[in-house]
Structure 1
Amino acid sequence: MDIISILIGMSWMSAFVALLLAFFLLTVKTNNKVANRLFAAYLLLFAIDNSGLFISESFIKEHLNLEFFRWTTSALILPVFYLYIVSVCFADFRLKPKYLLHAIPFIVQNLVFARLYFVIDAEKMDFYNHHNQMPEFYSLLTMGAIQVVFYSIAVFLVLKKYRAIYQENYANPRTSLSKWLIQISVVLFTLYYLSIAKNSLRYANYELLWIWANVILQFSLLVIICWFVLKALNYPELFRGVDSKLQLAKDILPKKNENSITIKDNQNDVITSQISTLKYYMKEKEPFLDPSLTILELSNQIEIPVRDLSVLINHHMDQHFFDFVNEYRIEKAMSILKNPLKSDLTVLEILYEVGFNSKSSFNTSFKKYTNLTPTAYRNAS
Structure 2
Amino acid sequence: MSLLIALVGFHILLFLYGSGSLSLLYPKFRSWFYYEVAMLFGPLLFVHLQCLVFNKKRLKLIDTLHLLPIIIFWFGYGDVLLMEGKVRNEYIYENFINRTMPWNYFLAFQMVIYAIGCSVFLYLKRFEFRNKHRQYALLLVVAYMFSAILISYLTHYADGWRDFASYYLILTLLIFGVAYLLFKYPDFFKQIRKKYFSSNLDKTDMLRIRTKIETAFAKDALFLDRSLSISSLGKILDEKPHHVSQTFSEFIAESFNDYVNKHRIQKAKKYLHDTKYSNYKIEAIALESGFNNKVTFYKAFTKFTGLTPSAFRKQKQ
Q: For the superposition of Structure 1 and Structure 2, which TM-score range results when normalised by the shorter chain?
A: 0.5 to 0.7
C-alpha change, 1:132 and 1:312, in structure 2 (3 Å) is closer
Give the share of equivalent positions with the same residue, in percent.
Answer: 12
Letter in 2 for 1:106: I
Looking at structure 1, the residues matched to 172 and 219 of structure 2 have their Cα atoms a distance apart, in angstroms, of 50
Tell me the equivalent position of 1:36.
none
User: In structure 2, what is the equivalent of residue 124 of structure 1?
Assistant: 88
Structure with the larger RCO, 1 or 2 (CA within 8 Å, 6+ apart):
1
- Check 1:116–1:220 CA distance in 2 against 1; reply closer, same or farther (3 A cut): closer
Of 201, 223, 226, the match for 2:157: 201
In structure 1, the partner of 2:2 is 40
Say if 1:65 and 1:117, in contact at 8 Å, map to a contact too.
no
Residue type at the aligned position of 2:138: I
State the partner residue of 1:77. Answer: 41
Q: Secondary structure at the match of 1:151?
A: helix
Structure 1 residue corresponding to 2:144, chosen from 176, 188, 191 = 188
Structural RMSD (CA): 4.3
Which residues of 2 match residues 308-319 of structure 1 at below 5 A?
314-319=234-239
Instruction: Give, in whole Å, the separation in 1 of the partners of 2:124 and 2:11.
Output: 31
- CA 115–195 in structure 1, closer or farther in 2 if over 3 Å, else same: same
C-alpha change, 1:231 and 1:298, in structure 2 (3 Å) is farther
User: Residue 149 of structure 1 corresponds to which residue in structure 2?
Assistant: 112
Q: Equivalent residue of 2:158, what SS?
A: helix
* Distance in 2, Cα, partners of 1:128 & 1:178: 43
Correspondence for 1:221:
171
Q: CA deviation at 1:304?
A: 3.0
Q: Which amino acid aligns with 2:97?
A: Q
Task: Indicate conservation of the 8 Å contact 2:154/2:163, yes or no.
Answer: no
Q: Distance in 1 between the 2:50 and 2:232 partners?
A: 28
Any idea what the Cα deviations from partners look like across 1:38-78, whole Å, max 9, x if unmatched? x1221222122211343385542455452222222222222
Shift of 1:227: 4.8
Give the paired residue count.
Answer: 232
Q: Using the TM superposition, give the Cα deviation of residue 197 of structure 1 relative to its aligned residue in structure 2, in angstroms.
A: 0.8
Kept after mapping to 1: 8 A contact 2:234/2:241: yes
Q: Which of residues 302, 307, 320 is equivalent to 2:240?
A: 320
The aligned amino acid for 1:129 is Y
Residues 39 and 107 in structure 2, CA contact (< 8 A), matched pair in contact too: yes
Distance between the aligned counterparts of 1:313 and 1:115, measured in 2? 54
Counterparts of 1:219 and 1:104, CA distance in 2: 29
The range that moved more, 310-319 or 90-99, is 310-319
**TM-score, normalised relative to structure 1:** 0.49
- Structure 1, unmatched stretches of 5+, are 1-38, 167-173, 239-278, 289-293, 330-351, 358-381
Q: 1:141: how far off?
A: 0.9
SS in structure 1 at match of 2:30? helix
Displacement of 1:80 in angstroms is 1.7
Unaligned runs of 5+ in 2: 190-203, 255-317
Q: Which residue of 2 aligns with 1:102?
A: 66
